[in-house]
Amino acid sequence: MAGLVADPHVLRWVGRGWLPDLQKDDRAIPAGRGGPRQTGSPGSPEKVRPVPGGRQLMFNGLKGLAITLLSTMNGLRQPVTRQYPAAGNLLKHQAEPTPVKDRFMGFPALTWDDEVGEPFCTSCMVCIRGCPTQCMSAVMKDNPLFAEEKSTRRKIVDTFEINLNRCILCGICVEVCNFDAIVMTHEHEMSTYNRNGDRVDLPALLEIGHKHQKATDWIPPTKRVKPAAAGSGEGESQ
């Protein structure tokens, strides 16, 4: 009775994978209960693929070694990042803060009006309503300097608090402010060991903002020169 033997040089697609082709051989032992079993649906197209030779196997091995070598060479390159805090005052290693670029956006702070001696913020709540994380809170009060005719602001901020743990530094509060009363400073190393220590109140916000105004030569909105309108120059036809 003819049996089935496996040809190690030919693979056949059976079921869900490649298996050695089963060839008929009169010299083989008949397949009994524990012998090989054919799977797959009858009539399915047979796919035969030769086993890769020695050259192909050697090429695949060299290819893998080349990829590993390239990865190793990339790891030996000089890193472009800097270990933090290599410079900064987060852990009191250095007195100077970590240098940042001029357009860097750190935590927000409130600006101070040196002419009148009060904040620019009127506590209009526009920034609080526009904050996506609701990390701000403020309270408004009547401005005593307005009654003395020393200020044009009827209302003034009484209390202002920002939870830096929830702030995502998006800058929306700066964009929606109508009085330029809030700016994105360069302060970013303000971590504490107390969870409530990252809640910054009004005096701290004004101190950070005033420091930022001096460092960046910030110009108040009342002193900014408006751009000339188009066609308003000299020589315009009458």
209 with 114, same domain?
Answer: yes
Residues 6+ apart with CB under 8 A from 193: none
Residues 121, 71 share a domain: no
What domain range is 59 assigned to? 1-29+47-80
Whether 231 maps to a domain, the answer reads: no
Beta bridge partners of 113: 118
- Domain membership flag for residue 236: no
Residues 112 and 213 in one domain: yes
Residues 115 and 22 occupy one common structural domain: no
Q: Are residues 114 and 198 in the same domain?
A: yes
Quick one: 133 and 210 in the same domain? yes
Task: Tell me whether residue 63 is in a domain.
Answer: yes
* CB neighbourhood size of 118 (10 A): 20
Rounded distance between C-alpha atoms, residue 131 and residue 169, angstroms: 10
Does residue 162 form part of some domain? yes
Residues 54 and 140 placed together within one structural domain of the fold: no
Instruction: With respect to residue 175, please indicate whether it lies within any of the assigned structural domains.
Output: yes
pLDDT in tens, the chain (238 residues): 444 444 555 555 555 555 555 554 444 444 444 444 444 455 555 555 666 667 888 888 899 999 988 888 877 877 666 666 555 444 455 556 667 888 889 999 999 998 899 999 999 999 999 999 999 999 999 999 999 999 999 999 999 999 999 999 999 999 999 999 999 999 988 888 888 888 999 999 999 999 999 988 888 766 777 666 545 544 444 3
Determine what percent of the chain falls in helix, strand and coil, rounding each to the nearest 5: 25, 20, 55
On whether both 175 and 122 belong to a single domain, the answer is yes
The kind and range of the H/E element at 64 are helix 54-75
Residues 55 and 154 in one domain: no
CA distance 8 to 6: 6
Same domain, 165 and 118: yes
The answer to whether residues 207 and 144 belong to one domain is yes
Decide the pairing of beta strands 112-113 and 108-110.
unpaired
* CATH of residue 153: 3.30.70.3270
Please, which residues have CB within 8 angstroms of residue 96's CB and are 6 or more apart in sequence? 87, 88, 89
In a domain, 237, yes or no: no
**In the chain, how many domains are there?**
2
**93 falls within a domain:** no
Tell me, yes or no, whether 166 lies in a domain. Answer: yes
